[in-house]
A and B are shown apart, each in its own frame.
Chain A
Amino acid sequence: MGARNRITMVGTSTMPSTQTLIHAEHVSRDYRLGETVIRAVNDLSLEIGSGEFLALLGSSGSGKSTLLNLMAGLDRPTSGAIHVQGKNLAALDSQGLARYRRETVGMVFQSFNLLPRMTLEENVELPLRLAEIDRGERSRRVAEALERVRLGARSKHRPSELSGGEQQRGALARALVNQPAILFADEPTGNLDSSTGEQILLLLREIQDTLGMTIIMVTHERPLAERFANRIAVLSDGKLIDQFAMQAGARA
C-alpha cells in the first residue's frame, strides 16, 4: 500500500541512484571453531542507498545475518571497512559502536527479544533511557511509537500477554523510538504465521514511506523479499552472488 506511486530503479544495476548511506568494502568476517576457521562473510562489497528497503536473501549459513550484524555495529569485521554516514564502523571502539547502535540504528529480531520483565511501554522506553533522554520527552515518544504500530492500548502489558504479531510490532516500536536512520530486521517474520508476517512487513513499508528511513531486512523467504523490498541482495557462502532492484509494480 505504501509503495503505490513509488519510483524505484529498474534492472540489475549494482549501484542505487540515491545517496549512499552504507558502503561495505571488501568485508570479511572469520569465526574460529576449534581448529578450523569459518569465513562467514567473504570479501563482500555492497552499497546501500539512503531510503532503500534492501532484502538480504540467502539460505541459512549464507552469511546474511553476519553481514547484518556487521552493518548494525553489533560485530566487527575481520578485515575490510564499513562506512556509514562517513564513519568506518570497523575503526570504532566498543563505546563508539554502542553510540552508533543507540543513535543511528534500530533493530528487530526474529524472536522479538522484548524483555519479559518489563511492560511493553518500558521495553519501548529502553533505548531512550540508554540515550539519557528526559522523562517527559520519553513518555511522549514512547506513546507516539506505540501509536505508530497501533499498540497504544497494550502499553501496560507484558510481552507474555501479547501475541507474536503484537510482540513484533512492539519490538518495531522499540526500534523506531530513537528515530534511527537505519532499521535492521533479522528474519522479522521467521516466528510468525504468514498472514501476521505479512502485516509486519506492510507495517515496515509504511514506516519506510512515512519516516523515510532505510530498511535492511534479512530473510530466506524469496517471495516476501520480492514483494516488499525495493532491492534484493543474494548471498551464498559469504559472498554476494546477485543483486537486483524490484519494479514498483512487483511491490503492490
Chain B
Amino acid sequence: MKLRDLSELAARNLREAILRNSLTTLGVAVGVASLVAMLSLGVGLQTLASDRLTKSGLFDAIFVTSRREFRGPGSGPPAKPSAGATKENPKPLDDDARQHFAALPNVVDVYPQIRFFTDVRFDGNTHATNVLGVPESSRSMSAFSGITGQYFSSPTAEEAILQMDFAKDLSPQPASLVGKEITLRYAERRTLSSDEIAKEKDIDAQLDAMMSGGISIVSREKKLRIVGVIESDPSAGIGGFGGGRVFLPIRVAEQLHAAQANDVQDFVRGGGSGKPTYAALTIRVKNPKDVLQVEDAIKKLGFNAFSLLDAARSLRLVFTVFDLFLGLFGSLALTVASLGIINTLVMAILERRREIGVLKALGATDGDVRSLFFAEAGAMGLLGGLFGVTLGWLIGQALTWGTTIYLRRQDLPAVKISYVPWWLAASAIVFAVIVSLIAGLYPAARAARLNPVEALRYE
C-alpha cells in the first residue's frame, strides 16, 4: 500500500475510536512532557550556571606569563622578540607578543593587568586606594550588570567606576557620586633614553639615571568623571581584578604609565631596555570551548598559559550526570505510556479482527496490515510527542514563573531556569515516535499473523 493511503487509513482508524486513542495519545504526551520538563530544567540550570560562569570571566580567560619568570636568578638581558623561543632565549611578554596574541583566531581581547596604588582626592579629602584597568570586554560581566549609573561610555573615556565600599568612604550617598569628578594622584614611570640621560644637568644626575636602569618616577595627577558605582568587586581570581576599588577603562589606565610592581622586577633584572614588558596578559576568547585551542597556540609561541578550563569540564560532567538522571525519570513516564500504546493496539486487534480479515481477503499482505498498525502507533507517538513537548514547555514556563516570584521575594534577579532548546524538542518528538513504534511492534506483528479465515469467521 502507498504511504499516503496507509496514513489515510491509519488516521481514519484513529478517528473512529477517538476517545480511546486520545487517552492513549495523552498518555504519551504526559510521558513526553515529563521528559521535556525534566530535561528543560537540566538544560536551563546548566545554561544558567555556564552563563554565570562565563560572565564571571573565569572560563573564557587565559592567563599568559613569560617563561622568563620561571628561570633562575642571574639571567641575562631579555632576548630580542624576533629570536626563536628557546629555553635559553624565552620571549619577553611585550607589545609585540600582545599584538601577536590579539591576532590569534577566536581571541576577543588581550589586556595586561594594570593595578597601581593611588591617592584619590575628592571634596578636599584624600583617600588611598588601588586603581584597576578594566577591559572593554568586561562590559557584559555579571559584576557590572547591577551597576548604579553606567559602564564606561567608550574604551578611551576618561571615566571611573567606583566600588561601593570605596564610594561610601567618599560620600554617604554613593549614588550621588555619579557625574562628579575625582582626581587621581599616582606615580608615573618614565623610561629614559640615553639622550635624555645626557641632557641631565650634572654628572651625578646622569650617573643616577644610568644606575637606575633608565627609569624615573614622577608624581602625576589625572581628573576623571565618575560614571558608575558597582556593588560587587568584579574580581575574577587569578589574573583578574582582585583588590581594585577604582576602575578605569584599561586603555586610559595604560596611557597613565603608572609604575607597577613588575617595573621594579624589570629594573632588578637589568631591564629598562626601552621596551616595557608585562607581568601577565589576560586573553579573552569568544567561547569557553575555544580556550584549549588558543591556550595551545600560545604555548607553542613560547609562553606560559593557564586557564580554568578543567574546572569548567568537571562542571560539565556534573551536569551531564544530572541530565542523565532527570532524563531517566522522564523516560520512566514514557515507558508507562508505551505500555498504554501496546494495550490500545492489542485491544484494537481484538476489536478489528474482522476488519483485518476483510483487508486480507481483499488482498492486503501481512506487511500491509503490519504497516497499518505501525502507522497508527507512530501517529499516536507523533501527536503525543508534539503535544507533550508543548505541555513540557508549559510546565517549564510555570516552573520559571514560580521561581521568579520566589526570587523576587528574596530580592534576587529573575532567572530562566527552564529552557527548551530546539534539539530537545525535536529529539523528544523523535524519541516518542520511536518508543511508540517499538510499542507497536508486537501488536502489529500479531495483527499481521492473523489467519484471514479465522478472522472472517462469523462471531
Question: Which positions in A face B, CB cutoff 8 Å?
Answer: 69, 72, 74-75, 94-95, 98-99, 101-103, 105, 107, 109-111, 113, 115, 117-118, 126-127, 129-132, 174, 178
Contacts and interface: CB of A to CB of B under 8 A. Distances in A.
Given A69-B453, A110-B458, A94 B365 contact: yes
A129 B10 CA distance: 13
Please list the 10 inter-chain residue pairs (A to B) with the smallest Cβ-Cβ separation, ordered nearest first. Answer: A102-B363, A98-B365, A101-B363, A129-B5, A127-B362, A117-B16, A74-B452, A113-B358, A130-B363, A75-B453
B365 A126 contact: no
A82 B334 CA distance: 50
Contacts of B1: 129-130, 132
Contacts, number: 69
A74 B368 contact: no
Interface in B140-192: none
A111 B363 contact: no
Contacts of A174: 362
Contacts of B409: none
Contact of A98 (B9, B16, B364, B458): B364
A69 B354 CA distance: 16
A109 B368 CA distance: 22
Contacts of B357: 113
A127 B363 contact: yes
B308 interface: no
10 contacts: A69-B453, A74-B453, A75-B451, A94-B366, A95-B366, A98-B365, A98-B366, A99-B363, A102-B364, A117-B16
Q: Is the interface of B mostly helix, strand, loop or mixed?
A: helix
B456 A130 contact: no
Contacts of A101: 360-363
Given A69-B453, A74-B453, A117-B12, A131 B458 contact: no
A98 B363 contact: yes
A149 B118 CA distance: 107
Interface string B218-259: 000000000000000000000000000000000000000000
Nearest to A190: B458
B12 A111 contact: no
Interface string B344-366: 00000000001101111111111
A75 B357 CA distance: 12
Contact of B361 (A94, A107, A132): A107
B373 to A, nearest CB: 15
B2 interface: yes
Contacts of B368: 98, 130
A117 to B, nearest CB: 5
Nearest to B4: A135
A94 B451 CA distance: 11
What size tier do the contact residues of chain B reach? 20 to 34
A94 B367 CA distance: 10
B13 interface: yes
Nearest to B455: A74
Nearest to A126: B362
B318 to A, nearest CB: 54
A237 B390 CA distance: 64
B358 A74 contact: no
A117 B13 CA distance: 8
A126 B1 CA distance: 10
A131 B363 contact: yes
A131 B9 CA distance: 15
Contacts of B361: 72, 74, 101, 107, 109, 113
Interface string B1-24: 110010001001100100000000
Given A117-B16, A129-B1, A111 B362 contact: no
A127 B358 CA distance: 10
A75 B457 CA distance: 13
Contacts of A107: 361-362
A109 B456 contact: yes
Interface in B114-142: none
A95 B360 CA distance: 11
B362 A95 contact: no
A101 to B, nearest CB: 4
Contacts of B16: 117
B444 to A, nearest CB: 15
Contact of B365 (A72, A95, A118): A95
Nearest to A114: B358
B360 A98 contact: yes
Contact of A130 (B355, B359, B452, B453): B359
Nearest to B458: A111
Contacts of B12: 117-118
Contacts of A75: 451-453
Nearest to B6: A129
A22 B362 CA distance: 19
A113 B366 contact: no
Nearest to A122: B12
B350 to A, nearest CB: 16
Contacts of B363: 98-99, 101-103, 105, 127, 130-131, 178
A163 to B, nearest CB: 20
A109 B452 CA distance: 13
A229 to B, nearest CB: 22
